[in-house]
Chains A and B, each alone.
Chain A
Amino acid sequence: MIRTQVAIIGAGPAGLAAAVELAQEQVDVLLIDEQEKPGGQLVKQIHKFFGSHKHYAGIRGIEIADQLFSEAKALGVKILANTAAYGLFGNRQIGIHKPHTYELGIVEADRIILATGASENPLWFPGWTLPGVMGAGAFQTMINVHRVLPGKKVVIVGSGNVGLIVAFQALQAGADVLMICEALPWVGGYEVHAAKVQRQGVPICLRTTIERALGQEGVEKIVLIRLDEHGKPIPGSAREIEADTVCISVGLSPLAELAWMAGCQFCYIDAMGGWIPVHDAWMKTTAENIWVAGDVAGIEEASTAIEEGRLAALGVALSLGVMREETAIDRRKEVTERLTELRMGPFGETRRIAKDPLCSL
């Protein structure tokens, strides 16, 4: 059994930021991550972030991951990579599994931060199980992390930021992006990202969705269909195009199984991706010893995940008695101000409105 003061499950932006913050207070921290390389989904974000300098504007996601991880390492944070946290036993014990070596073990921690992130939502249509239909994030992982191209003729379903960014990165990787289709009458993601792909000649087809994917041993053709103002398919509008890859980018859902296991209270907030663990302004859940941070606490962005990681760390530090209450409250105020800044604008606003009542509990 491995003993630690604080265990953080997930070494993405939220987990790494929390680890750095706690290690600065001389807390003994252990990060547990299923992937070989820490950084979570940052490891495939090869685009530059924008916004303000406080939020890593102008820096690529991959660099943010490296930066956070080297800070954590320098502060003595320990990491268990290639290790899945498969369950929680009570509120202190984490069951771990190393699939490459078939090892099982238990980590016992005084405090646990769940920073497990999110998973991509699937989309059901005839042919959705064919090889070649994949999450947009999956395509991004294959091209940017593993450097292999899953297909040459790509159609993106969903025009949120993930769809728009992956479309551009597919072009950079040498694929032909035939179109981005969007069921809604407007583009889901930021105008900057949409403009960038449109400049490259990729059409964004609104009120259009995939009707089916066709093929024997993988996608060969797809059928697109136009939707009317009620979202119903327009008869006779179906059109067949040749494609070998369909990237699904229709949102993410919090990966909250461990929080369910711990008996945390949940609430359903559509704007945050569905069921999320109820948490206070310190990111503490309703379960003893369990904190949350990042996408598991509601789908947002890497920059907000980093700030939430810091909040959780402050909460944990306070509860361990390694930080004075006044200091923790002052620091929390600074972080909360930055979070509010991040949650401005048409996209952030809905999330802020959704989250604020939670945090005032």
Chain B
Amino acid sequence: MRIMDHPVLGPMTPRREVEFFFEGRKMKGMEGEPIAAALMAMGIRVLRRSKWYGQPRGIFCAIGLCTDCMVVVDRVPNVRSCATPLREGMDIRMQLTSDGMRTLR
């Protein structure tokens, strides 16, 4: 959910809306915002699955330190979704193994 109005920060500054894909589904987000923010605004919490047990993982630190939120962007694995700006047409996939093997299939 987006915070459109805020008692201290005021209304949200409009940014250009862009289309992107998550797991093949077409979605909309704001250009330049972190991928993780765009996904969170769409209600998506699971960004990755753990290597051995397939457990869900999501945002943990939100500042690019913990690497728990890694996704595959345009076939490039290990992209930190909280620290990578969203661009038009990005093809974002949930990362299924920690080395991004899925992209080789």
Contacts and interface: CB of A to CB of B under 8 A. Distances in A.
A137 B62 contact: yes
Contact of B63 (A138, A152, A218): A138
B3 A149 contact: yes
A137 B93 CA distance: 26
B83 A134 contact: no
A141 B63 contact: yes
B98 interface: no
Nearest to A149: B1
Given A34-B64, A34-B83, A131 B59 contact: yes
A146 B61 contact: no
A138 B8 contact: no
A4 interface: no
Interface string B52-92: 00011111111111101000000000001001110000000
Contacts of B2: 147-149
Contacts of B33: 146
Main secondary structure of the interface of A (DSSP, over half): loop
Contacts of A133: 60
B41 A148 contact: yes
Contact of B58 (A119, A132, A135, A172): A132
B7 interface: yes
A134 B1 contact: no
B83 A135 contact: no
A36 B20 CA distance: 21
A218 B1 contact: no
Interface string A141-153: 1111011111010
A131 B63 contact: no
B46 interface: yes
B80 A129 contact: no
A150 B47 CA distance: 13
B34 A146 contact: yes
Interface in B20-36: 33-34
A35 B8 contact: no
Contacts of B56: 130-131, 216-218
B50 interface: yes
B9 interface: yes
A129 to B, nearest CB: 6
A296 B96 CA distance: 34
B85 A100 contact: yes
A35 B40 CA distance: 20
Interface in A208-267: 216-218, 255
Interface hub of B4, B34, B85 (most chain A Cβ within 10 A): B34
A174 interface: yes
Given A46-B9, A148-B40, A142 B45 contact: no
A51 interface: no
Interface of B: 1-4, 6-9, 12, 33-34, 37, 40-41, 45-47, 50, 55-66, 68, 80, 83-85
5 contacts: A99-B83, A120-B61, A131-B58, A147-B12, A172-B8
Interface of A: 34-36, 46, 60, 84, 99-100, 119-120, 122, 129-135, 137-139, 141-144, 146-150, 152, 172-174, 216-218, 255
Interchain residue pairs A-B with the least CB separation, the first 7? A131-B58, A138-B62, A146-B37, A131-B45, A141-B62, A218-B45, A147-B3
